[in-house]
């Protein structure tokens, strides 16, 4: 099948971008990745550092007969304001910030569903493997090879036309398909993402993130305590952080996604409401949302930190309730948050 036909079919399946990469190792990217892991910059994210780190260096370790990778991207941008904008919502310290990608349904299902539809259109006469984010593949690197965009200084894949608010997916296939070529890096002399990062998680020259300083790591991946010295910089973020994408000029004219599953349902909820969820309510409310990944205790930890950072006296009572929580992680962060409201609050229930 010709590459142009595959790209047309990918569009029919709901993907704004599609391209083809060779299913071959990318030695420079693999080296950078393994070096990043080696230097401990992945923190405690075992799925990035265990035996799967080596699998990432060669797509044929995922599918031995792979010759090509069909790379796709699905837009998820919503119409709501960016976390860096000065609007009423942004100035309301009583609201919790949730990363744009988690405002709607879990993208894994949506992207996988689209890739299954695409494989059905390709026909069954080939070996294939569908990958959505969780597979050990250097997906941004292959997306760049497939011409979908360049990897910016904020380490996101950026497309010149639609920006970086995209989910990536891949089909490894035994089909031989004409590959695309990578576009040029268009970051130029810009340093907006590096300058705006509240925790200095991006390397001074860009193109590398220290996950151990990155807000999505503290608020999603980490099961333990957020580092004391970085808690204030977390601000109102209760799940993820978009700042380095919000400030990127290539996102300033990003189109809005048409996918109903990504309609914003969890945009900037009041912190007080989040602090009051029982575990059953947390599960029910975020049932089909990526927010589940933070787990109940991790989410309440995040809410407590955001309440502390708000400095709002109205959060004293809900924080005292969280400080009496049986889970020590939640209780400790709530005690820390109470101290941010007023130093004399350290003697609250524990």
Residues catalogued as catalytic: 133
Judged by CB under 6 A, the stretch of 19-27, 41-49, 105-113, 245-253 that binds ligand SF4 is: 245-253
Q: Which is nearer to ligand SF4, 100 or 129 (CB)?
A: 100
State residue 139 phi and psi, 5-degree precision.
Answer: -70, -35
Q: Of these, 94, 249, 264, 269, which contacts ligand SF4 (CB under 6 A)?
A: 249
If one asks whether residue 82 binds ligand SF4 (CB under 6 A), the answer comes out as no
Binders of ligand SF4 in range 148-167 (CB under 6 A):
152-154
Judged by CB under 6 A, the stretch of 210-218, 256-264, 330-338, 340-348 that binds ligand SF4 is: 210-218
If one asks whether residue 214 binds ligand SF4 (CB under 6 A), the answer comes out as yes
If one asks whether residue 199 binds ligand SF4 (CB under 6 A), the answer comes out as yes
DSSP H or E stretch at residue 298: helix 296-310
3-state SS class at 197: coil
Q: Of these, 111, 132, 177, 243, which contacts ligand SF4 (CB under 6 A)?
A: 243
Binding-residue pattern over the window 95 to 134 for ligand SF4, x denoting contact by CB under 6 A: ----------------------------------------
Closest residue by Cα to residue 84 from 310, 246, 268, 199? 246
State residue 17 phi and psi, 5-degree precision.
Answer: -125, 145
Q: Which two tokens stand for residue 70?
A: 């069909």
- E strand residue ranges, 45-197: 68-75, 97-98, 128-131, 150-151, 157-158, 166-173
Closest approach of ligand SF4 to the CB of residue 230, in Å:
9
Closest approach of ligand SF4 to the CB of residue 208, in Å:
10
Q: Of these, 143, 202, 307, 322, which contacts ligand SF4 (CB under 6 A)?
A: 202
3-state SS class at 97: strand
Judged by CB under 6 A, the stretch of 69-77, 213-221, 263-271, 273-281 that binds ligand SF4 is: 213-221
- Residues in contact with 201: Cβ distance below 8 Å, sequence separation at least 6, in sequence order: 209, 210, 211, 213, 214, 215
Q: Are 141 and 151 in contact (CB under 8 A)?
A: yes
Burial of residue 49, with CB atoms counted within 10 A of its CB: 0-12 exposed, 13-18 middle, 19 or more buried: middle
Count of CB atoms within 10 A of residue 50's CB? 12
Binding-residue pattern over the window 179 to 198 for ligand SF4, x denoting contact by CB under 6 A: --------x--xxxx---x-
Cα dist from 282 to 112, 218, 262, 279, whole Å = 25, 19, 19, 5
Judged by CB under 6 A, the stretch of 114-122, 138-146, 246-254, 284-292 that binds ligand SF4 is: 246-254
Residues that bind ligand SF4 (rule: CB under 6 A) add up to a total of 24
Contacts with ligand SF4, residue ranges (CB under 6 A): 152-154, 187, 190-193, 197, 199, 201-202, 206, 209, 214-216, 241, 243-244, 247-250
């Amino acid at each position: 099948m010709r590459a142009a036909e595959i790209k047309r079919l990918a569009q029919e399946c709901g993907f704004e971008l599609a391209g083809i990469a060779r299913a071959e190792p990318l030695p420079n990217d693999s080296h950078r990745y393994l070096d990043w892991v080696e230097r401990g910059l992945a923190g405690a994210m075992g799925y990035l550092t265990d035996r799967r780190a080596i699998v990432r260096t060669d797509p044929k370790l995922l599918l031995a007969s792979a010759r090509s990778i069909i790379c796709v991207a699905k837009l998820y941008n919503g119409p709501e304001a960016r976390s860096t904008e000065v609007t009423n919502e942004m100035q309301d310290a009583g609201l919790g910030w949730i990363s744009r990608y988690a405002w709607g349904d879990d993208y894994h299902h949506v992207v996988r569903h689209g890739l299954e539809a695409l494989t059905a259109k390709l026909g069954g006469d080939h070996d294939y493997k569908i990958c959505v984010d969780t597979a050990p593949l250097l997906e941004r690197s292959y997306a760049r090879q497939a011409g979908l965009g360049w990897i910016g200084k904020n380490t996101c894949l950026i497309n010149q036309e639609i920006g970086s608010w995209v989910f990536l997916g891949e089909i490894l296939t035994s089909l031989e398909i004409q590959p695309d070529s990578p576009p040029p890096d268009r970051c130029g002399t810009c340093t907006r993402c590096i300058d705006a990062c509240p925790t200095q998680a991006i390397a001074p020259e860009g193109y590398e993130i220290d996950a151990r300083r990155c807000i999505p790591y503290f608020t999603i991946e980490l099961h333990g305590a957020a580092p004391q010295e970085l808690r204030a910089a977390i601000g109102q973020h209760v799940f993820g952080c978009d700042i380095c994408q919000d400030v990127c000029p290539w996102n300033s004219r990003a189109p809005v996604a048409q996918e109903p599953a990504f309609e914003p349902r969890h945009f900037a909820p009041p912190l007080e409401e989040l602090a009051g969820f029982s575990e059953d309510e947390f599960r029910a409310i975020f049932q089909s949302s990526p927010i589940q990944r933070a787990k109940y205790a991790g989410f309440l930890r995040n809410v407590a930190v955001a309440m502390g950072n708000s400095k709002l006296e109205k959060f004293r009572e809900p924080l005292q309730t969280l400080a009496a929580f049986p889970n020590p992680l939640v209780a400790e962060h709530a005690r820390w948050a109470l101290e941010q409201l007023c130093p004399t609050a350290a003697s609250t229930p524990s």
